[in-house]
Amino acid sequence: MTMRFYMTPGSCSTGIHILLEELELVFEAHIVDLLAGDHRKPAYLAINPNGTIPTLVLDDGTALTDFQAIAWWLARAYPGRQLIPADAEGLARVQTLLDLAGHEIHGQGFTRIFTTDRYAADPAEQAAVQAEGRARVARGFAAVAPLLAGRDYVTERFGIADGALFYVEFWAERIGIPLPEPCQAHYRRLLQRRAVRQVLAEEGYGAMLRRL
């Protein structure tokens, strides 16, 4: 049975998509249209009751439904590709960056920008919510920047934390939030990777790549 990957182009699932391509794995890609509400339909909820993306259904039918869970599983399942370091300090660095990208920048920042009505139903309050989201994103990247300074990747080589950072850097670039220099350099470096370029082309961002 082939693994099944449920994704939305340009979303946080892009980070997992990149990891899958870096590993050169065979999988079926299924598009979940969030705007059309596909994530709330019974067929998808039967796979992922939380209605979130991404979801990776393994060969044995097990569904992994959290970015970090999928990323850590990929790293552990394919240790030869060294998507996580072997040393304790390196693993702590990876977890720190995963938390900053997923919980702070995405969970506390971009959710306020992209799903503002979850925080304020009153349109008069939504501009303030989005401003708070942008401020939280900026603070998150400010915390990431010194951890990337002087480094090509989060650790000695490309890994799961780089995949997580890429999608939030991509979002920031798309909506005009300035990245600190180490984060900008990291983003530009990842844009040159074969797997990243392949994923962006497959997800409909080929025109963007041609402008680089």
- Residues 157-176 have pLDDT tens digits of 999 999 999 999 999 999 99
User: What pLDDT does 212 receive?
Assistant: 59
User: What pLDDT does 206 receive?
Assistant: 78
- Residues 145-154 have pLDDT tens digits of 999 999 999 9
User: What pLDDT does 1 receive?
Assistant: 73
What is the chain's percent helix, strand, coil content, to nearest 5?
60, 5, 35
Q: Please tell me the pTM assigned to this model.
A: 0.95
pLDDT of residue 210 exceeding 90, the answer is no
Which strand ranges, in their side-by-side order, compose the sheet holding 3-7? 27-31, 3-7, 55-57, 63-64
* Band (202; pLDDT cuts 50, 70, 90): very high
Q: Which helix (H) or strand (E) holds 142?
A: helix 123-148
Average pLDDT, the chain: 96
Residue (of 78, 56, 79) closest to 68 by Cα position: 56
Q: Please report the domains of the chain, with CATH numbers, ordered by start residue.
A: 3-81 (3.40.30.10), 88-193 (1.20.1050.10)
Which residues share a beta bridge with 3? 27
Q: Is 196 exposed, middle or buried (0-12, 13-18, 19+ CB in 10 A)?
A: buried
Q: Which helix (H) or strand (E) holds 191?
A: none
Q: How many CB atoms lie within 10 A of CB 60?
A: 7
